[in-house]
Amino acid sequence: MNLSNLSSRNQFSRQPSTARPQGWSGRSLALSCPLQPEAVVHSILIVDDHPDNLRTLAGILGREGYRMRKATNGEMALLTVQTEPPDLILMDIRMPGMDGYTACLELKANPKTAEIPIIFLSAAEDVDAKVKAFEVGGADYITKPFRAEEVLVRIRQQLMLRLQSQQLQAHNQRLQIEIQVRQQAEAETQLLLATIQAVSQATSFEEALQAVLCEVNGAIAWDYGEAWTPDETIMSLWLRQVCVKTKDERLQGFYHASQNLTFGVGQGVPGQVWETRQLLWLEDLQNIAPSFARQEMAIAAGLVTVLGVPIVVDGRLLAVLVFYSRSQIPQDPKVMELVQAIALQLGGFIQRKQMEAELLQANRELQRLVHLDGLTGIANRRCFDATLEQEWLRLRRNQLPLSLILCDVDYFKGFNDRYGHLAGDDCLKQVAAAIAGVCKRSADLAVRYGGEEFAVLLPYTDTAGAICVVEQIQAALKTLAIPHAQSAIADHVTISFGIATLIPDGLQEPTLLIEYADEALYQAKAQGRDRYCTAIASPPREY
Ligand SMILES: [Mg+2]
């Protein structure tokens, strides 16, 4: 089947829906004839002052299935067209009252009727008359007396041109809309990407909120943005972040005045957005009834239009963003869609950021607690074990010395018996602080080893270095001079020290260092306490 033939035949031959040529299936029509829907019955307005002409034309058109209306002069034609515009007009030129040219000019001047094709029909055969017919906007010109075939062919041609032009316009409109939709989607994506990037770089909820505020405020090019977050325990919103584009003093003033305000559900723009969970757009603050708390302040700051945006996640309000513009901006669906998209997409993201930050903080605190001794605040045994393991491996690689000092408060049981456990705890705290105060290098670690025992781990330190540290602790204790009436060797609190130094090798375990230091501590106690002993397991090496 030759589709192009079929198509052109159909376009040019007017076929009433009841008289379709045989063999034309609906399907082939639909495929081959995109231009002309089969059920359309075109309406034609015939304008002529001569009843015979009207009758003849009506007869010709009626047989072809067209719908017709008639008018006998220009004025009547204009009136008829107003009630229902026809698809085409056949227009006589010479008529009493308004002539055909004038009627045509009027119709072309009106946007509602300008597109209706007008074919002039006239007995005037001179060129001037024809030229004028086209000048006033006529689409074609037929000379009277006419032949029916000629009139019909010209009508079909004009109707087809009109249809094509309408389809082209519709197609263009669709394209325009598609382009707009694509541009809008692109703008949304760009903004979303920029905002997500800014949010992901943020290290706290505040920073994330600030990033969103500034990105959106920049994208819609408004002047002032603020983020309100709810405090659900007191059911009110408070101002968390602000984004001001200029250094305008009035905006700064607006910010300062807003700083200490809070809004309950339904109060002010933030509270109204909280209540409705909907966008709120107030186009002209000066020309609406007082409807929110800061309206006068906003007007005084030169702000005209306000937009409130809720950020809701899983039914919970995370924040309310409020944007202000100093220009009057009518409700713009594009801007609304844009901020809505941001609010929807970013809610979860911001919430994750918030949880992440809280989790991180909790983790840090936990880490700190896990590795700290509850009483003295210095590192605990768990921290000591982990650090000893690390340092052992490191110094084994580097073949450098690692020293350990074990310390035991002398006659501490007696101290507790004499002064009570609270005083005992206080004594341990002071001793811990004294020992920690001596460990000045970042790698040195002072630890409460258990009970009244302390340990000092000294990487990159030989025995001489460790002795130096012990002497500093002894000096610090002397200065502290914590009275100890139960001590058999002094009137103040003293400590016995055991020092061990090793250059770790692959055959030994880190616990060996502890054993040596413990042995040395035992020696120090055996020799009368308040002193140090060293266990030199391997000779100091040059390093
Ligand atoms: Mg006439």
- 3-state SS, 430-476, equals HHHHHHHHHCCCCCCEEEEEECCEEEEEEECCCHHHHHHHHHHHHHH
Residues 6 or more apart in contact with residue 173 via CB below 8 angstroms: none
What token pair was written down for 17? 């829906």
Contact 348, 315 (CB under 8 A): no
What token pair was written down for 528? 């009368």
> Where are the chain's structural domains?
43-163, 202-360, 381-536
Looking at residue 537, what is its pLDDT? 55
From edge to edge, which strands make up the β-sheet containing 305-313? 262-264, 236-244, 224-231, 316-325, 305-313, 280-282
Instruction: Tell me how far the alpha carbon of residue 97 lies from the centroid of ligand 1, in angstroms.
Output: 11
Instruction: Tell me how far the alpha carbon of residue 141 lies from the centroid of ligand 1, in angstroms.
Output: 14
What is the chain's percent helix, strand, coil content, to nearest 5? 50, 20, 30
For residue 135, is it left (φ>0), alpha (ψ between -120 and 50) or beta? Answer: alpha
Decide yes or no: CATH 3.40.50.2300 for domain 43-163. Answer: yes
Sign of CA dihedral 131, 132, 138, 144: negative
Looking at residue 117, what is its pLDDT? 96
Determine the topology of domain 202-360 in CATH: Beta-Lactamase (3.30.450)
Instruction: Tell me how far the alpha carbon of residue 457 lies from the centroid of ligand 1, in angstroms.
Output: 119
Q: Work out whether strand 88-92 and strand 43-47 pair parallel, antiparallel, or are unpaired.
A: parallel
Which phi and psi angles does 225 have, rounded to 5°?
Answer: -130, 145
Given a cut of 70, the residues of the chain with pLDDT beneath it are 1-39, 536-543
Chain-centre distance for alpha carbon 9: 56
Comparing CA positions, the residue from 60, 259, 81, 433 lying closest to residue 70 is 81
CB atoms within 10 A of CB 358: 12
Looking at residue 28, what is its pLDDT? 35
Contact 192, 345 (CB under 8 A): yes
Instruction: Tell me how far the alpha carbon of residue 43 lies from the centroid of ligand 1, in angstroms.
Output: 22
Contact 163, 37 (CB under 8 A): no
Instruction: Tell me how far the alpha carbon of residue 154 lies from the centroid of ligand 1, in angstroms.
Output: 20
Instruction: Tell me how far the alpha carbon of residue 44 lies from the centroid of ligand 1, in angstroms.
Output: 18
Amino acid at 130: K
Instruction: Tell me how far the alpha carbon of residue 125 lies from the centroid of ligand 1, in angstroms.
Output: 14
Instruction: Tell me how far the alpha carbon of residue 5 lies from the centroid of ligand 1, in angstroms.
Output: 39
Instruction: Tell me how far the alpha carbon of residue 259 lies from the centroid of ligand 1, in angstroms.
Output: 81
What token pair was written down for 497? 């020290």
Decide yes or no: CATH 3.30.70.20 for domain 381-536. Answer: no
**C-alpha to C-alpha distance for 366 and 377, rounded to whole angstroms:** 14
**C-alpha to C-alpha distance for 1 and 194, rounded to whole angstroms:** 56
Instruction: Tell me how far the alpha carbon of residue 50 lies from the centroid of ligand 1, in angstroms.
Output: 6
Comparing CA positions, the residue from 246, 296, 504 lying closest to residue 398 is 504
Instruction: Tell me how far the alpha carbon of residue 149 lies from the centroid of ligand 1, in angstroms.
Output: 21
